[in-house]
Amino acid sequence: PKLVVTNREGETSEIEVEDGLTVMEAIRDNGFDELLALCGGCCSCATCHIHIDDGATDKLPPMSEDEDDLLESSEHRKENSRLSCQIPFTPELDGLKVTIAEED
Ligand code: FES
């Protein structure tokens, strides 16, 4: 399945995601080093913050309280904010479009 990523410069690319990865791993493994993902996916750093484009937030698994709390610490939180390490990229999400959030 494919994931469409827009970076902080506004450039959009399409990446092919292997089964079993989270959205964070897919983005990071494709060379977007601006997605720091400092904690490696354990929901404690908030440097994997993304915005979900085109109103697709409904398709995603609900947010945990931890994720919600961490996002609250970001100045760039929006309605469509998520932590990308908390989203397993399942085949149903094929074509999902996301934008890497500004740096905090
Ligand atoms: Fe640290 Fe997602 S990688 S919270």
Atom of ligand 1 minimally distant from the CA of 39: 1
| Superfamily name and number for 2-100 | Beta-grasp domain (3.10.20.30)
Q: Which pLDDT score, from 0 to 100, does residue 18 have?
A: 94
Ligand 1 center–CA 80 separation, angstroms = 17
Residues 55-101 have pLDDT tens digits of 999 999 999 999 999 999 999 999 999 999 999 999 999 999 999 99
C-alpha gyration radius of the chain: 12
3-state per-residue secondary structure call for the chain: CEEEEECCCCCEEEEECCCCCEHHHHHHHCCCCCCCCCCCCCCCCCCCEEEECCCHHHHCCCCCHHHHHHHHCCCCCCCCEEEHHHCECCHHHCCEEEEECCCC
> Buried (b) or exposed (e) across 15-33, using 16+ Cβ within 10 A?
eebeeeebbbbbbbeeebe
Domain ranges of the chain: 2-100
Q: pTM for the full model? A: 0.96
23 lines ligand 1 (CB under 6 A): no
Atom of ligand 1 minimally distant from the CA of 36: 3
46 lines ligand 1 (CB under 6 A): yes
Residues 6 or more apart in contact with residue 51 via CB below 8 angstroms: 78, 80, 81, 82, 98, 99, 100, 101
Q: Which pLDDT score, from 0 to 100, does residue 51 have?
A: 98
Interface confidence (ipTM) of the complex: 0.99
